[in-house]
Structure 1
Amino acid sequence: MDTVLDAPVKTFIQVTEYWIPEGDRLVLATGNYGGLAAFEEATRAISFGKGEGLPGKAWAEERPVVLKGFDGSYFKRIEAAAEAGLTSAVAVPVFDGDTLRAVLVVLCGDDANRTGAIEVWHEADGLLMLDDGYYGAAKHFEWVSQHTHFPRGQGLPGGVWSAETPMLFRDLGSGYRFIRADSAGKAGLTTGLGLPIPVPGDKTFVLTLLSARGTPIARRFEIWDARPVKVGKDKAAILVDGICEREGALWTDDTQEPPRRIAANQGNVGRVLASGLPEIFAGSPKLTEGYDAMVALPIYDDGAIAHIVAWYV
């Protein structure tokens, strides 16, 4: 029997959408608007040129972009966002070498209880520095993050930088590997997902999603490895790490347990593997492991998908 999560959850991210290039414009592919019908309607009426609006800026600047306030900004849907209670957004470009495949955009609201973090880190002078981030009510954690930098291999951002792969950290408030553990614990942050964001040139960017129990970014995270050295010559992906609030760990070091493997077009992750594009699935819990929605994001390396990161809310 399929299990459906009935308890309502106030998530940190309220809207997720992705845009794809058609000629010289970015057009909406799909999105999950969580019942914000007026904002969805305003979104479907627009497109973006290179450098225009938040998706266009991520395209033009070839980097993830954080926008923590819309008023007076280049954001094109200011009035609709205000009516929907949306106050900030992050745009994440998906590049295959020099070619833009898509731009993923997540939008958040702001209130006294919404806690979490979406951070963009960039390399400068041999260290990862905070480029920008949105933290909701976690103001002290934001201050600590602004004054923290990471050598290669240290902490979640530095670990992703060193390994050049997505990584999951558990128990952020007590984990010895998480450099900001004390302030994370005080903020109620529990789980961290870090992923490399490949862009043209030799620039280094790392995106981190830090989830709190009360207003989670997601209730389930998965990391799939699609590198040929891992899965063989056939296009496939293997689950190499994951965590779920219902099931606990989704992955084990026990070599006696066969890995979870999917092929192209097999399930939601397989669709990403086949299309090469992000996917957003909503409205059918049978297709999303009993959750309301799923986001799956491909990460490219050397002309092919190397990893797929998925999260469920």
Structure 2
Amino acid sequence: MMDTVLDAAARTFIQVTEVWVPQDGKLVLASGNYGDLDAFKAASGKESFAKGEGLPGKAWADARPVVLKGFENSYFKRAEAAKEAGLTSGVAIPVFAGDELKAVLTVLCGDDDERIGAIEVWTEADGVLKLDDGYYGAAKQFEWVSQHTQFPRGQGLPGGVWAASTPMLMRDLGSGYKFIRAESAGKAGLTTGLGLPVPVPGGDVFILTLLSALGTPIARRFEIWDARAATMGHSNEAVLIDGICEREGKLWDDENPRRATAWQGRIGRVLGSGQPVVESDGAGLPAGYASIVALPIHVGGALSHIVAWYR
């Protein structure tokens, strides 16, 4: 049953994930997961971005998450290679520690009639969160509902993240009373939500939400690690505080918490470096998973949490 669940979800909502890091005044590729898109991987390995250039460079210059729904005739530098690979849309998430850019995480998607999910950016305006932009694949009705939804502080997944300044996981989106858009989420087949703050210089509020469907999941496993004790000098560890897996059930134990030590394993590398990690070789990952994305969140200039998702 375990393998059947994994094999049934071979098509994923996100097709490419990349980490771009600053080096000598430009962003260079640190790591990426390209699946079987070898030609696009090769094109990306030759690329770099000045501030304001391309999708990663725009997120750096604008100091905010950026959604780009169409690559053709846009500022996307790898448009020809992306077209050949069937990639049409992308989201760039800058990772700032105070005013310092640590990295830019980019996720790239293809547009077809089968892929359903949501990558949303919410921003504060007039005391509520409004949809800044998002990519939804074929979930057009859910996209319309989202465009006409606002969240006060503390309400729904985006509002909860805003109030707590911490990442949050939400289960059973289609039936959960806490998920404001439950009815439309259920119709779209969305099941799991991850929300996280995206701190940026200047203090503007940005919340990123990743909403995953069973048929074309963003991930099959999500984790949230608390790193605040490490950054306060009490330890060099992060503690797993929440997680969702479609086949394993609860991933953490409050009485015997799972811990990650700085520079040990993937979570430990994020804890030590403060930069995202993307890997696709599968070695050392929990059984049945081939790739991981681990993204740090810096609040007040210090590493606060690490969110990870596995496919």
Instruction: Please give the TM-score of this superposition, normalised by the length of structure 1.
Output: 0.95
* SS at structure 2 position matched to 1:59: helix
Show the counterpart of 2:73. Answer: 72
Q: Aligned letter for 1:147?
A: H
Q: Aligned Cα RMSD in Å? A: 1.8
SS of alignment partner, residue 283 of structure 1: coil
In structure 2, distance between residues paired with 1:286 and 1:52: 35
CA–CA distance in structure 1, aligned partners of residues 152 and 282 of structure 2: 42
Q: Does 1:227 align with 2:225?
A: no
What secondary structure does 1:184 align onto?
helix
- State the partner residue of 1:135: 136
Q: 1:198 corresponds to which residue?
A: 199
State the 4+ residue runs in structure 1 displaced beyond 6 angstroms.
229-232
Counterpart position of 1:287: 285
SS in 1 for 2:240: strand
State the identity as a percent. Answer: 70
Following superposition, the deviation at residue 251 of structure 1 comes to: 3.1
Partner residue, 1:20: 21
Q: Cα 1:251–1:191, aligned 2, differ >3 Å: closer, same or farther?
A: same
Partner of 2:248: 247
Question: Helix, strand or coil for the counterpart of 1:105?
Answer: strand
* Contact 1:151 1:158 (C-alpha < 8 Å) held by counterparts: yes
Tell whether 2:269 aligns with 1:271. yes
Which structure 2 segments of 5+ residues have no match?
Answer: none
How big is the shift at 1:241? 0.4
CA contact (8 A) 2:9 2:214 kept: no
The 3-state SS of whatever aligns with 1:310 is: strand
* Partner Cα distance (1:293, 1:50) in 2: 29
Q: Deviations over 1:94-136 (max 9, x none)?
A: 0000000000000001111100000000001111000000000
Q: 1:96 to 1:80 in 2, by over 3 A?
A: same
Partners of 1:272 and 1:279 within 8 A in 2: yes
Q: Which amino acid in the other structure matches residue 212 of structure 1?
A: A
Equivalent AA in structure 2 for residue 303 of structure 1: G
**Residue 92 (structure 2) aligns with:** 91
Alignment of 1:47-126 (within 5 A): 47-126=48-127
Q: What is the alpha-carbon distance in structure 1 between the residues aligned to residue 307 and residue 203 of structure 2?
A: 23
Contact 1:231–1:238 (CA under 8 A) maintained in structure 2: no
CA distance in 2, matches of 1:289, 1:130: 37
Alpha-carbon distance in 1 for matches of 2:145, 2:7: 36
Change (3 A) 1:290 1:199: same
Figure out how many residues of one structure are paired with residues of the other and give that number.
309
Which of 301, 304, 308 aligns to 1:303? It is: 301
Give the 3-state SS of the residue equivalent to 1:13 in structure 2: coil
Distance in 2, Cα, partners of 1:162 & 1:302: 15
Q: Distance in 1 between matches of 2:23 and 2:152?
A: 39
Cα deviation per residue 1:123-152 (whole Å; 9 max; x = unaligned)?
A: 011110000000000000000000001000
Change (3 A) 1:88 1:42: same
Contact 1:19-1:27 at 8 Å conserved across structures: yes
Q: Is the 8 A contact 2:290 2:310 kept in 1?
A: yes
**Aligned counterpart, 1:30:** 31
Determine helix, strand or coil for the equivalent of 1:191. Answer: strand
Tell me the alpha carbon deviations over residues 246-301 of structure 1, each in whole angstroms, 9 at most, x when there is no partner.
Answer: 1022135xx5x311111112221011111111001112254354311000000012
Structure 1 segments unaligned to the other structure (5+ residues): none
Deviations 1:155-185 (A, max 9, x none): 0000000000000000000000000000000
Determine if contact 2:231/2:302 at 8 Å carries over to the other structure: no
Q: Deviations over 1:40-73 (max 9, x none)?
A: 1111111100000000000000000000001110
Distance 1:48 1:231 in 2: 34
Residue aligned with 1:223, SS: strand
Q: 1:48 to 1:229 in 2, by over 3 A?
A: closer
